[in-house]
Amino acid sequence: MATIGKYGKIIFDIKDLQYIQDNFQKMTNDQIASALGLKKTVVRMMAYSLGLKRMELEYWTPEQVDFLKQNYKAIGDVELAEIFENEWPKNKGWTKKHIEKKRRYLFLKRTSEELKEIHNRNKKSGRLAVANRKRWEATGSNEIGTIVIWQMNNFPIVHIKTESGYVHYNRWLWKKTNGTIPEGYNVVRKIGCPEIPTLEFLELITKEEHARRNKRNYMNLPSDLKEIITLRNKLTKSIKKNENAT
């Protein structure tokens, strides 16, 4: 059994070392530590000193980092991943996430103008058209008139597919029956409205009235739920801000 030496240093005997070597690929560090009566960090450090690895990490080379720094402003992350896959193939392959993560680590942020130039470049080269075609080949395309329900902030929002794409079902149904929706107005559900609305459960109100109702509903919520909603909204804003910054 391992013993504690001077200054709290852990001293392993031969049996402990052999146990770690024999079981490293079969057991987790937690399991080995429990069996030997040690802390997980101690087992991890000893395994590292013995050269034991469960996976072989593939690190960025200086050449790869330099290429990224020289080209990230003009080439998008998806295309960069493809270039890296061709030039420096690795076991796990290269993905957009690998490029994004390294850019964030190196603080390599694109300006809005640079993002616009990348978009225009991809559009001219036909990359955007190819991406859309691949997406629809993989997921399929709904017919016009198909009603779908998407979760937005954990709330179900009904959409319908039209010739110009997906639109909010509430507004589409109102306009189909009553014509154009005046500027500054929203179409909202009444109490008791079914999941897929019918016209009698919809009403036209001003955006100001809509905001007042939302605020009134929010104020009637339990305090703990209001705290959760406030935290969620702050988190959502922070995520969008970071996404725009990169």
Q: Tens digits of per-residue pLDDT, 174-190?
A: 999 898 899 899 999 88
pLDDT of residue 229: 67
pLDDT of residue 219: 75
pLDDT of residue 11: 72
pLDDT of residue 2: 60
What's the CA gap between 98 and 92, in Å, rounded? 10
pTM over cut 0.85? no
pLDDT of residue 36: 85
pLDDT of residue 3: 58
pLDDT of residue 24: 86
Q: Report the 10 Å Cβ neighbour count for 72.
A: 20
pLDDT of residue 120: 85
pLDDT of residue 106: 92
pLDDT of residue 185: 92
Tell me the domain boundaries of the chain: 3-49, 62-136, 147-234
pLDDT in tens, 197-236: 888 889 999 989 988 887 777 677 777 766 776 776 677 6
Mean pLDDT for each consecutive 10-residue tract of the chain (246 residues)?
Answer: 61 83 88 87 84 71 91 90 84 86 92 90 67 53 79 71 84 90 90 84 90 77 71 69 63
Tokens found for residue 41: 């960090």
